[in-house]
Amino acid sequence: MINSKIKIFLASKSPRRRKLLKQLNLNFRSFSVDINEIVKRKEKPSSAVLRLSKEKLELAKEKNLEGIIITADTIVVLDSKILGKPKDKKDAFRILKMLSGRTHTVYTGYSIFNSENTRTISEYETTKVTFRKLTDEEILEYIAGGSPMDKAGAYGIQDDFGAVFIKKINGCYYNVVGLPLAKLYHALLRIL
């Protein structure tokens, strides 16, 4: 178990990540850090999520907080192409149409810093997700609900309706939501 006296900070504006950390029964505070989340040309997805989580961590460390800081970044990759958050409804439709009937990979990188021993852990996880064939009507209905607009790959596996897009997953479900919980929990135990 993680010592409940240690302060934990989640540097993320994602409500999904906050909900996931609550599942671990961790007492934490959250705040957001804003960086330019652009993937560099020819950068590997694993390198990108690690770099972005580290950049977020460096910004979060400027707050001089005492305890543990957690940052993360998630991207969706199809055919070596990174699919970010949609720019608008038309872009969300384009992305979901590309994912329809295909398998893509979700990468989440996270960084953890313990101010007491100055240790840092940065790791990533991958999960393969296969969509069933989607109809245009299903995609439009999902977009009309507003759900895809703040999510990499334009969908949320945890969404009521987004969940029915998934034919199968290979790997950590929680990674697709935004944090690989089991791996993160063991990293927290190692950093104490």
- Pick from 74, 81, 75: which is nearest to 42 by CA? 81
What phi and psi values does residue 62 have, to the nearest 5 degrees? -65, -15
- Pick from 55, 67, 73: which is nearest to 13 by CA? 73
* Catalytic site positions: 73
Which of the 8 DSSP states describes residue 118?
T
What phi and psi values does residue 98 have, to the nearest 5 degrees? -65, -40
- Pick from 154, 177, 138, 165: which is nearest to 96 by CA? 154
